[in-house]
Amino acid sequence: MKIVADENMPLVREMFSPYGEVVTYPGRELTAEHVWDADVLLVRSVTLVNSSLLEGSRVKFVGSATIGVDHVDQHYLAQRGIRFANAPGCNANSVVQYVLSVLFTLRPDWMEQTIGIVGCGNVGGRLYRMLIELGISCRCYDPFLTREQIPDLVSFNDVLQSDVLCLHTPLSTEGSFPTYHLFDEGVLAQLSSKTLLINAGRGAVVDNAALLRLLPDKSWQVALDVWEQEPDIALPLLEQVDIGTPHIAGYSDDGKVNGTEMIRDAFCAWQGQGVPETASRPDQPVQVTASYLAQAVLATYNVAEEDQRMRQALLAESTGLVESTGLVESTGLVESTGLAESTDVPSVFDRLRKTYPQRLEFQHYRVGGTPSEQLSRQLSVLGFS
């Protein structure tokens, strides 16, 4: 059996080599020539899986180690009798960690404000439940759920009145509730001047061109992890947003490995084989010092560092950042990624993702000393060791 996989899927060789020959390629460069003699195709969100890629091949199983599926033509796969599996929820904890880091970075008093969540599936639902346990006031919009499932469901117009808006919807262009450009110019213009907009779902849920037109005259705060036309993102928009990151909200070590593991399990089920026992990942908790929750969260992951890394890589040349501050050299970005001199936006964006530093989720950390009773309870909600 020949298994073709994205080379950036963690542990893909270790998990799939017992079942056949594993051949890897850069995901964005996969072509029909690479997969024509493959039996299994394993991808991430950067590979478009459709008739152009698979027609004439012998592929019978496609696995995508992602939550989203908008890069996969599932109708075509079903017509061809090709089994498809993805990994819903694999990186939900990672995205929640990202969102909390953004909140504590941009809005220190966010815990006294109302958080609106648009899309309450695996990720948005996880975020909602955690926020409720922390005692945060929430409003949620998801037309596919009921108040029995999410008690704080409100209308779309009502969720827009929240102080903070977190977007966690899939991308869809059809059906009763398409999400493509859900936040178009008309919707964006309705937002309060004090709104913080965080998009860690799909880039095209927000009309990026409209956002760019409106931002100079607005006092919103905006954090974008996902962008339209990735990896060829609009640099003027990166310059305008408060935090910009290269689609890495779900890129914790645990989230990435979980995705590969879930696809491996689905593959085994398709083959009628038993699922291997999951190897434990023993490690000593990393001890951090914190006397309040913001310190603890930012000690595990400070999103401002990733924002700086992205700006240095993509904007340094145009802003004179290298010459004026020496930040690229001081952080070792040139040495570690070779990005500083590049003007090829798609290549830089992809390489930022490929060279993303190791990130551990909350469960790998412990706050030293004797935290207060309130902090201990909050840390327990987030899953600290």
* Residues 17 and 122 reside in one and the same domain: no
* Residues 123 and 170 reside in one and the same domain: yes
Task: Say which of 230, 261, 306, 361 is annotated catalytic.
Answer: 230
Identify residue 2 by its one-letter amino acid code: K
* Residues 29 and 166 reside in one and the same domain: no
Q: Backbone phi, then psi, for 333, in 5-degree steps?
A: -65, -40
* Residues 139 and 202 reside in one and the same domain: yes
277: in domain: no
314: in domain: yes
Report the pLDDT averaged over residues 113-126.
97
* Residues 72 and 117 reside in one and the same domain: no
Whether 332 shows a pLDDT value over 50: the answer reads: no
Whether 21 shows a pLDDT value over 70: the answer reads: yes
* Residues 61 and 103 reside in one and the same domain: no
187: in domain: yes
pLDDT of residue 316: 78
278: in domain: no
What is the signed CA dihedral for 301, 304, 310, 316, rounded to 10 degrees? Answer: -150
83: in domain: yes
* Residues 70 and 175 reside in one and the same domain: no
Q: Find the CATH number of the domain harbouring 118.
A: 3.40.50.720
* Residues 77 and 99 reside in one and the same domain: no
Whether 320 shows a pLDDT value over 50: the answer reads: no
Structural domain count, the chain: 3
Helices (H), 215-366: 235-240, 253-271, 293-300, 303-319, 321-325, 327-331, 333-337, 345-354
202 tagged catalytic? yes
Q: Backbone phi, then psi, for 201, in 5-degree steps?
A: -105, -90
384: in domain: no
Whether 337 shows a pLDDT value over 80: the answer reads: no
* Residues 114 and 239 reside in one and the same domain: yes
pLDDT of residue 275: 83
* Residues 128 and 210 reside in one and the same domain: yes
280: in domain: no
240: in domain: yes
Write the pLDDT tens digit of every residue in 42-89: 999 999 999 999 999 999 999 999 988 999 999 999 999 999 999 999
* Residues 351 and 364 reside in one and the same domain: yes
pLDDT of residue 90: 93
Q: How far apart are the first and last CA of the chain?
A: 41
Q: Please give the model's pTM, rounded to 2 decimal places.
A: 0.88
Q: Determine the Cα–Cα distance for residues 3 and 5; give it in Å rounded to an integer.
A: 6
Least confident range of 46-55, 78-87, 338-347, 364-373: 338-347
71 tagged catalytic? no
Say what angle helices 122-133 and 92-106 make with each other, to 10 degrees: 50
- The three-class DSSP label of residue 279 is coil
Report residue 283's pLDDT band, with 50, 70 and 90 as the boundaries: confident
Task: Say which of 107, 168, 181, 247 is annotated catalytic.
Answer: 247
The chain-wide mean pLDDT, for the chain, equals 91
Report the pLDDT averaged over residues 337-351.
71
52: containing domain: 2-90+253-271
* Residues 235 and 267 reside in one and the same domain: no
Task: Say which of 44, 139, 168, 202 is annotated catalytic.
Answer: 202
